[in-house]
Amino acid sequence: MNFYSLNKQAPQVSFKDAVIQGIAPDKGLYFPECISPLPPSFFEKIQELSNQEIAFNAIHQFVSDDIPNEKLRGILTNVLDFDFPVVEIEENVATLELFHGPTMAFKDVGARFMANCLGYFSGGEMKEVTVLVATSGDTGGAVANGFLGVKGVNVVILYPSGKVSDIQERQLTTLDQNITALEVDGTFDDCQKMVKTAFLDEELLHNMQLTSANSINVARWLPQLFYFLFAYKQAASFGKEIVFSVPSGNFGNICAGMVAQKLGMPVKHFIAATNSNDTVPEFMKTGKYLPKPSTATISNAMDVGDPSNFIRIRHLCNDDFENLKQKLFSFTFSDAETKEAMKSIYKNSNYIADPHGAVGYLGLKKYQEAHSDTYGIFLETAHPVKFLDVVEKTIKEKLPIPPQIQKVMKREKKSISIATYSNLKDFLLKN
C-alpha cells in the first residue's frame, strides 16, 4: 500500500518512506491510499482473538509491503506486552485504561510501534535519522522510552517550560543516550511551530534526515486504532450501542478510532471532548475552522489550539461537514468542570480519574443526555499519578507512586533551554 499527502502535491510513497519522512515534501500529512474493511466475521469472532491477533489483522494492510508478517508479529508482541482493561464505573459508563505501559500513557503503543519500525528499517540501508518531536506532556516520555537505545536514531524532544507536570518532565529529561530534551520558553504551539518550521528548512533537510514522532507520523498515529478494537472486544457482548468519548488535543487518537470504524468496527459515534482549547467544538457548531493560541489548563496534554490531525478526520469524511456531524460530536469543558467531575467520579465510584480522563467522562455524560440507550466508554489516557498535584488537591487523597514512576523520580533532569527557532536550528546543525 502507498501513502499520499493530503496536500496532494507530492508523490505517493511506501509505508517505510512515509515513516522515515514523517511529513510529505509538500508539508502535507500522509494518508493511506485506501482503507479496506475487515470481514464481518472478524468482528463477530473478535472475542476469540488475542490482542496481538487483532492488531495484526488491523494493521496488516497498511504495512505488509515493507514489514514481513513474521517481523510484524514480533513487533506487535514487543509493543503489546501490557493490558488495556475496560473498567465499568457506573451503569452504562466504563473507562478504557490506556496507562498500563512503561510510561503510563496511551502513547506508549504508538511510540513503541514506530521505534520498532525504524529499528527494523535501520537494519537495511537507512541513514541515521533524527526524530524531532514536540510534546504537551505525555508524548515526550513515551517517545523517549520507546526510542531509547534504538540504533541509528537520535531523538530531540521540545517541551514548553513550566507547562508539563513534574513527572512528565522527568520521563523525558532523565534518560540520556540518544535522547535530548529542549526546554522551550513558550507554549506547546510554539514547540509544534518550531518542529513544523524545521521540516520546511531546506538547509536542515540537506544536512540530515528528519522525521517526527508526533501523531502526524503514520507509524505513531495508525497503531492507536488498536485501543478501540481491544475495547470493542471487551464490550461487544453488552447488547447496547457502543460510543467512545476521547479526551482530545492533537486529535490523533480519535482519528485512529475513526479509522477502526472505517475498518468495520460497529461503532456509530465518537465524542471529541476538549478542555478550554475549543477550536474543534466551535468548528462543529459553525463549520468554520478558526485555530487560536493554546490556553494552559490542568489537562495539559490537550492544550492544543490547532490540532494537526483534524485534517485527517475531515478527510475520512470526504471533507463533508454534514457527514462529519453524523459521526463526531465535540464538547468543551473548563478546569472547574473537570475538577468537579474528578470529585464526583471518586465519590460515587471510588475511581480516580486523571484530568484528561475526567474531560472524556464529561463529554460522554453530555452525549448520553440525548442518547441514553448507549454504552459509553471514555478513554483514561494517562495514570492519575502523572498529574499528582492536581489530582491529590482535587480529591483530597494521597496517591501511591507506581514502580514505573518511582524509578525516574531520583534521576537528574538534563535539558537545554531554547527560545527561538534559530536556537533549535543551531542545535540540530551542531549535533
pLDDT of residue 227: 96
Mean pLDDT computed over 314-340: 97
Mean pLDDT computed over 109-113: 94
- The string of pLDDT tens digits covering residues 281-320 is 999 999 999 999 889 899 988 999 999 999 999 999 999 9
Would you say 134 and 194 are in contact if contact means Cβ atoms under 8 Å apart? yes
Beta-bridged to residue 32, according to DSSP, are 3
CA–CA separation, 398 and 391 (whole Å): 9
pLDDT of residue 125: 60
CA–CA separation, 134 and 141 (whole Å): 11
| Arithmetic mean of pLDDT over the chain | 93
Would you say 97 and 85 are in contact if contact means Cβ atoms under 8 Å apart? yes
From the centroid of its chain, how far is CA 256? Answer: 9
CA–CA separation, 291 and 307 (whole Å): 8
H/E element, 132: strand 129-134
* pLDDT band (50, 70, 90) for residue 12: very high
- The string of pLDDT tens digits covering residues 170-217 is 999 998 899 999 999 998 889 988 998 998 899 999 999 898 888 889
Backbone angles phi, psi at 79, to 5 degrees: -75, -40
Nearest of 39, 44, 3, 47 to residue 24 by alpha carbon:
3
pLDDT of residue 238: 81
Q: Name which of 199-203, 286-290, 345-349, 366-370 the model is least confident about.
A: 199-203
CA–CA separation, 101 and 420 (whole Å): 34
Ranges assigned E (strand) in 135-204: 153-160, 179-184
pLDDT of residue 409: 82
Known active-site residue 107: yes
pLDDT of residue 337: 98
Give me the helices (H) in 350-430, please: 355-368, 388-395, 403-409, 421-430
Residue 313 burial class via C-beta count within 10 angstroms: exposed 0-12, middle 13-18, buried 19 and up: buried
Q: What is the pTM of this model?
A: 0.91
- The string of pLDDT tens digits covering residues 52-104 is 999 999 999 999 999 999 999 999 999 999 999 999 999 999 999 999 999 89
Marked catalytic residue, from 107, 339, 365, 386: 107
* pLDDT band (50, 70, 90) for residue 164: confident
* pLDDT band (50, 70, 90) for residue 138: confident
Mean pLDDT computed over 116-137: 82
Domains, the chain: 1-409 (3.40.50.1100)
The rounded percent of the chain whose pLDDT value lies above 90 is 76
Residue 235 has pLDDT above 90, yes or no: yes
Would you say 47 and 27 are in contact if contact means Cβ atoms under 8 Å apart? no
Residue 421 burial class via C-beta count within 10 angstroms: exposed 0-12, middle 13-18, buried 19 and up: middle
Cell readout for 341 is 467531575
From the centroid of its chain, how far is CA 262? Answer: 18
Alpha carbons within 13 A on the beta-carbon side of 157: 35
Nearest of 403, 404, 431, 402 to residue 416 by alpha carbon:
431
